[in-house]
Amino acid sequence: IKPDKKVAKTIECNVKGKEKRISLSENDLVFITNGSCTEGTIYGDQNHAPNGNAEIRTSGCWNLWKNIAKQDKSFGHPEKFCSDIQKTNWESATVTTLDDKIIPYITNICKRDPKTGHVVTGGIVSCQDSSWLLSWTINRQGQFKQQDKDKVCVWVYGLFTDTIGDYVKKPMKDCTGKEITMEWLYHLGVPEELIEDYATNSAICIPTMMPYITAFFMPRRKEDRPDVIVKDATNFAFLGQFAHTPRDTVFTTEYSVRTAMEAVYGLLGVDRGVPEVWGSVYDIRELLDSSVKLMDGKSPLEMNLGPLNIIKKPLIRSIKGTVIEKLLKEHQILKENEK
């Protein structure tokens, strides 16, 4: 590192148990994934909880970033993201049905047969009264190429892994796959006398504890993530969810792809534009649509505006025949019969 130049000179790595140093020239390009939301994932199975000391499972991406960040403040502050597992973890599980006993309870909620090959839940189903804040979703089946067509794969996850369950009186993080299935079946509406039998014989569950899965949502400042190509970098770039690119939103595939494009095009001097971030935040049409969707299809004008109610109708009359009235009607803010 010099005042006007930052150069990656060596990669220190471990190859088949042996320490190795790879020397680099300025013509060698290094692309660094600094930090990962799936780093340190711990797997369980039907009869075992995903137990393990996540604190010591920070090898790989996080330690790499820590080692780099020690050298210059422009490389960010990884500790902002990976130092508080209590705030960044949640648990995920796949529940695969082994027969048709659970299927009617799924169909009763999503009103679709999950075996048709069509859209099933159409999104995530949240169990509002779950102490684990349990949610589940079923994509088009079969979800995997080798999946048995008679089986249904359900994705289940819980955001509060250290609270006691509603049916299984244990924290989610301490539960086996079978116990997580039992809790899910309880919220699915399966009669309690059938729950253990179904969880044992009609499904198999693989739970995974992910200590850093929401690390990128931790409070941070702009400088806590390095730029994709930091100032004066000659032969290295950062990519992924913990590199900074303006206006984009983390937790999306697009974010990772866009940082990779910036890194490759920038270091190689490729004269090609990185696709712009969709400017929905600046598009009044999208904002109007979002406000209606947030209210489950109702117009914000249906809200009780308190003292402002008295001016609502005069305001609506004042825009009659204008482009504003047309826009509000097209996006369901104003109903056709509203006067």
Strands 90-97 and 203-210: antiparallel
pTM over 0.75: yes
- In the chain, ranges of CATH 3.30.9.80 domains: 90-210
pLDDT of residue 152: 97
Task: Judge contact between 235 and 26, C-beta under 8 A.
Answer: yes
Which of left, alpha, beta for 121 (phi over 0: left; psi -120 to 50: alpha)? alpha
pLDDT of residue 36: 93
DSSP labels, 269-336: T---PPPPPP-GGG-HHHHHHHHHHHTTT--GGGS--GGGHHHHHHHHHHTTTSHHHHHHHHTTSS-T
Residue 35's CB: how many other CB atoms inside 10 A?
25
Q: What is the mean pLDDT of each run of 10 residues along the chain (339 residues)?
A: 95 93 96 93 95 62 94 97 93 97 96 91 93 96 91 96 97 97 98 98 97 94 96 97 91 92 96 87 89 86 84 89 94 77
> In terms of CATH architecture, what is 10-40+51-83+218-268?
3-Layer(bba) Sandwich (3.50)
Bridge partners for 23 per DSSP: 10
pLDDT of residue 301: 86
pLDDT of residue 313: 87
Torsion on CA atoms 273, 252, 57, 163, rounded to nearest 10:
160
H helices present in 75-173, as ranges: 79-82, 85-88, 103-110
Which one-letter DSSP state was computed for residue 45?
Answer: B
d(C-alpha 321, C-alpha 333), whole Å: 15
pLDDT of residue 123: 86
- In the chain, ranges of CATH 3.50.50.60 domains: 10-40+51-83+218-268
Domain 90-210 sits in CATH at: 3.30.9.80
d(C-alpha 188, C-alpha 106), whole Å: 7
16 CB-near residues (< 8 Å, 6+ apart): none
d(C-alpha 43, C-alpha 213), whole Å: 14
Task: Judge contact between 10 and 22, C-beta under 8 A.
Answer: yes
d(C-alpha 174, C-alpha 162), whole Å: 8
Using CA atoms, how far residue 45 sits from 9, 175, 178, in Å, is 43, 10, 8
Which one-letter DSSP state was computed for residue 58?
Answer: -
Q: Identify each DSSP E strand in the chain by its residue range.
A: 10-15, 18-23, 30-33, 42-43, 90-97, 125-126, 134-137, 153-158, 203-210, 236-239
d(C-alpha 152, C-alpha 204), whole Å: 11
